[in-house]
Structure 1
């Protein structure tokens, strides 16, 4: 039995002519938009702004609903 310290898997050499390093071009438009807007510091700001907008809209809907329910006739 042969035993190698790195294992018995043998890797072929890469054909350098067939390696496609242009990862950005192979991604879809939605994936590139997500990577640009939703990741990192920009993603944190976008998520905070979205949460703030949702909170304000729920407050406004509750205020208007409460006004029409509790107004005096």
Structure 2
């Protein structure tokens, strides 16, 4: 079973990397980009066979290590 965790900064938290990307795109002629939010994607290979148990385990992983829940939000996909 695989899990995919997408982690993004919460709305209202400054994203200097996103701003640097937006600025670089503008410098390359892509003037229609008004904002960029940069995040991270983590793929996990799990031995779990029950999707509900896998989701609960990945949720615990996010709270324990993968995401800084003070400034980041995350979403989980189980496949």
Normalised by the length of structure 1, the TM-score is: 0.26
More contact order relative to length (CA 8 Å, sep ≥ 6): 2
Normalised by the length of structure 2, the TM-score is: 0.25
Whichever structure has more helix as a proportion of its residues is 1
Task: Look at both structures and tell me which one has the larger radius of gyration over its CA atoms.
Answer: 1
